[in-house]
Amino acid sequence: DGGITQSPKYLFRKEGQNVTLSCEQNLNHDAMYWYRQDPGQGLRLIYYSQIVNDFQKGDIAEGYSVSREKKESFPLTVTSAQKNPTAFYLCASSIDSGQGIYEQYFGPGTRLTVT
Amino acid sequence: ILNVEQSPQSLHVQEGDSTNFTCSFPSSNFYALHWYRWETAKSPEALFVMTLNGDEKKKGRISATLNTKEGYSYLYIKGSQPEDSATYLCAPSRGGGNKLTFGTGTQLKVEL
């Protein structure tokens, strides 16, 4: 089955530790995205990548880093510099369905708790 | 950052009721408008994508309209069923088209 996997579903870390969230897709999509959701807020874009070895900052990139060494994988590292890392993180991928329209497909998410 | 507003924030309806929600967004530099449905414990899934002013899309009992000149879209559900219970998200894209800005969503609960 084609899809997007994120692991783990729940992740717990101590404050001051970096943590990497996994996102893998087998949809052969070029573009991948990381979003964060907090209570009462919409999904906010952290980073996105339109092609391998290239990525851009989204609206809230501070305290995060990404890499895109393979088309299938777009891991997100939450660094100790991120002031409020506890949140629900969603990964997505997309492909141009025609005329520059990119429909995004989402993974199941990872809930990160930092104490 | 684009300002995308959805109303109402939450909605409780009875089975069989028809309902509608609103998504408002800046009309400048508009490219496309996406609607997603997000059920609890599942991933958001795409419902519609619309690009042209006056566009209407329909999938079963759910339909959507788009007004790009005034910057809004309506989502309608006819004869709501419990399985329609979910959060409905809208997300306009701007410029190049693959960067979406999501609203906070409308949480719908359909009761028997």
* Residue-level pLDDT at B99: 86
Minimum distance, in Å, between the CA of residue A103 and any CA atom of chain B: 7
**What type of residue sits at position B111?**
E
Nearest CA in chain A to B4: A42
Distance CA A54, CA B70 (A): 35
User: Tokens 């507003």 — which residue?
Assistant: B5
Q: Is B37 within 8 Å of chain A by CB?
A: no
* Residue-level pLDDT at A94: 93
User: Tokens 């959805």 — which residue?
Assistant: B6
Residue A10 corresponds to which tokens in the numbers above? Answer: 């729940």
Minimum distance, in Å, between the CA of residue A15 and any CA atom of chain B: 27
Distance of CA A84 to the CA centre of its chain: 16
Secondary structure in 3-state letters for B36-59: EEECCCCCCEEEEEECCCCCEEEE
Of B1, B96, B98, the CB nearest to A59: B1
* Residue-level pLDDT at A82: 92
* Residue-level pLDDT at B97: 61
B48-55, Cβ contacts within 8 angstroms, sequence gap of 24 or more: B49/A97, B49/A101, B49/A103, B51/A99, B51/A101
Q: What is the pLDDT along chain B (112 residues), one digit of tens a residue?
A: 678 999 999 999 999 999 999 999 998 888 899 999 999 999 999 999 999 999 999 999 999 999 999 999 999 999 999 999 999 999 998 766 678 999 999 999 999 9
* Residue-level pLDDT at B71: 94
Contact state of A42 with B89 under an 8 Å Cβ cutoff:
yes
Of B32, B43, B99, the CB nearest to A101: B32
* Residue-level pLDDT at A99: 76
| DSSP character string of A73-112 | B--EEE-TT-S---EEEEEEEEEE-STT-EEEEE---EEE
Distance CA A8, CA A103 (A): 25
User: Tokens 């958001």 — which residue?
Assistant: B44
Q: Are A24 and A73 in contact (CB under 8 A)?
A: yes
* Residue-level pLDDT at B96: 62
Please list the residues that pair with A20 across neighbouring strands: A77
Can you list the residues of chain A whose pLDDT is less than 70?
A: 1-2
Minimum distance, in Å, between the CA of residue A67 and any CA atom of chain B: 18
Contact state of B97 with A101 under an 8 Å Cβ cutoff:
yes
